[in-house]
Structure 1
Amino acid sequence: MLRGMYGAAAGMLAQQQRQEMLTNNLANVQTPGYKADQATIRAFPSMMLAAMNTSSGPMNQNKVIGELATGVYVQEHVPNFKQGDLNQTGNTTDLALLQGVLPEGENGVQGGLFFTVTGDDGALRYTRNGQFTVDGEGVLTTSSGHRVLGTDGQALEVGNTSFSVNENGVILSNEGDIIGQLGIVYVENPLDLTREGNGLLTYSGEEAEDFPQAIGMDDITYQIQQGFVEKSNVDPTQTMAEMMSAYRAFEANQRVLQAYDQSLQKAVNEIGRLG
């Protein structure tokens, strides 16, 4: 009986974590470039039950009854790097990265393109949020102040907001002079990136990896749309439906747990009377 209680409790915990993830997705439905998380729920290893000393044969004293599930758990949260819709803002500092043809990696996962910026520690970070601005030094930065890098790995000094960006990411001044080119990197397996806050992603591999620049790669196409930002790819309707599903699954496991609790309470009370 206690095994059933543990299984129901594990199901409640898994649905609670799933609900928290979906709530976070819904809270970021208006965050530019945000990628929705998806929960991977797995079952604990099953137990094989057998009745002891029930077979008549000398070589087989156990009769197999079957498998017993031992509950589920949330293994991980996996971001969905699907392209989000574009929202026109008209701001010259807003840049949307529109992915075109991208190859698939060896694991079957489609690669992804990302802007490169500097983190608080000066190391490389990656983002899909192209809602940029220009700081007091004339450097193109994210809304949280992280400097946007060019293909040469240096911060892009645009001077002011009067600049233009072509489809390839080349930044031009009002006079038509080339200021620099946006550093757009190709990540073969985007699942190697983890969230860090403020829309930034960091590489989570054991060894540092220098991701290649997308410009010049024959099997990759992309466009930079100035005056647009990429919207979150969270589907509010689907997310709310999944939240309701998680809530109902939580309630179902809760009722099972309550039933086990009532059965134990009854057993304890009756045993107490017999004593």
Structure 2
Amino acid sequence: MDRLSFNSMAAINEERIARHQLSNEIANVSTIGFKKTFDVTLQSHQAVGQGFDSRIQPRMYVNDQVQLDPGPLMVTGRDLDVALNHKTVLGVTGSNGELAFTRRGDLKVNASGVLETGTGHLVRGQDGGPITVPPGFKLSFGTDGTLYAIDPAQQGVPQQQAIAQLLLRDASATPLSKREDGLFKVVGKEAGTDFATGPEPVSLTPQAVEGSSVNPMASMVKLIEQSRSFEHQVRIIKESKSNDESGASMMKAS
């Protein structure tokens, strides 16, 4: 009977990672540009050790890779909002000063006149440095990531001037994982490493943002399934204990 309890406890312990992952997804249903990261699955694994060689227990296998499937497109009409198309990622400066990437496109100009994301990470230009915006200029983006500025005080018909090019990379052929601050980095490389853009052309949609790629209904269904699985495993442990007690009572002398 102890094998039933052993396997049930192993299943409960292994599924905790999936529960944490689902809780994180549900908490970020409304986060702009949020991407799912973990894919988890339970597989049978033979336990090795004294007294355990004949036992098979479940083990959780995790694929820690950012899923760049596009989320819903939300048109805002705001000049500094951009939605990254396909698997394009935007280069920013992380909280530790290193190069990182994101899909968040709710951009703004801070008090120092530097372009940053909604979370305060400085946006990088194609040259790798921050993008400084002239004060008082009207800004807009092209679909290729070019930042244009118009001087409202200019005489006659105002002319657009290209002042910067966003650091955009196609990550369709490059696996990415999440950093501790929620930004992306290249799998198997040191944090802050750049990568060559992939075969797909980089592009963005101006005056729009990308919503979270989390499907709230699917996440809730998975959470319910995990809750039922937990209850099922606990029931097995209780039944195993009951059967063991019944067997012990049968061995007693009458």
Is 1:95 matched with 2:82? yes
Map of 1:71-110 to 2, 5 A cutoff?
71-99=58-86
Cα distance change, pair 268–191 in 1 and its aligned pair in 2 (3 A)? farther
Matches within 5 A, 1:223-238: 223-238=203-218
- Pick from 183, 186, 189: which aligns with 1:203? 186
Mapped to 1, the partners of 2:162 and 2:127 lie a distance apart of 14
Conserved? CA contact 1:96–1:226, under 8 Å: yes
CA distance in 1, matches of 2:63, 2:6: 21
Aligned equivalent of 1:8: 8
Per the alignment, residue 122 of structure 2 pairs with 147
Distance 2:179 2:23 in 1: 16
What is the rounded CA distance, in whole Å, between the counterparts of 1:43 and 1:176 in structure 2? 58
Indicate if the aligned counterparts of 2:65 and 2:175 stay in contact, CA closer than 8 A.
Answer: yes
Identity %: 26
Equivalent residue for 2:164? 180
AA aligned to 1:165 is F
Could you tell me the TM-score, scaled by structure 2's length?
Answer: 0.83
Q: Would you say the 8 A contact 1:18–1:74 is kept in 2?
A: no
Could you say which residue in structure 1 is the equivalent of 2:25?
A: 25
Call closer, same or farther: CA 1:207–1:28 in 2, change over 3 Å.
Answer: closer
Query: What is the DSSP-based 3-state SS (H/G/I as helix, E as strand, rest coil) of the residue aligned with 2:62?
Result: strand
CA distance in 2, matches of 1:192, 1:213: 13
CA contact (8 A) 2:65 2:178 kept: no
Task: Answer whether contact 2:73 2:83 (CA < 8 A) is retained.
Answer: yes
Q: Would you say 1:194 and 2:178 are equivalent positions? A: yes
Alpha-carbon distance in 1 for matches of 2:129, 2:189: 25
Please give the root-mean-square deviation of Cα atoms over the aligned residues, in Å: 2.6
Residue 228 of structure 2 aligns with an amino acid whose one-letter code is R
- On the 8 A contact 1:29/1:232 being kept in 2, the answer is yes
Map of 1:159 onto structure 2: 134
- 2:223 aligned with 1:243, yes or no? yes
Aligned mates of 1:125, 1:25 — CA distance in 2: 21
Give a deviation string over 1:41-96, Cα, whole Å, max 9, x none.
Answer: 23242379xxxxxxxxxxxxxxxxxx853223243454422111111122222111
Q: Does the residue aligned with 1:258 lie in a helix, a strand or coil?
A: helix
For residues 47 and 224 of structure 1, what CA distance do their matches in structure 2 show? 50
Please point out which of 94, 99, 105 is paired with 1:130: 105
Instruction: Find the aligned partners of 1:8 and 1:240 in 2 and give their Cα distance.
Output: 23
TM-score normalised to structure 1 length:
0.77
- 1:253 is displaced (CA, Å) by 1.3
Aligned length: 239
Correspondence for 1:70 among 35, 57, 75? 57
2: CA distance, partners of 1:238 / 1:190: 27
- Alpha carbons of structure 1 residues 121 and 229: separation in structure 2 relative to 1, 3 Å: same
Aligned to 1:221: 201
Q: Distance in 2 between the 1:210 and 1:80 partners?
A: 19
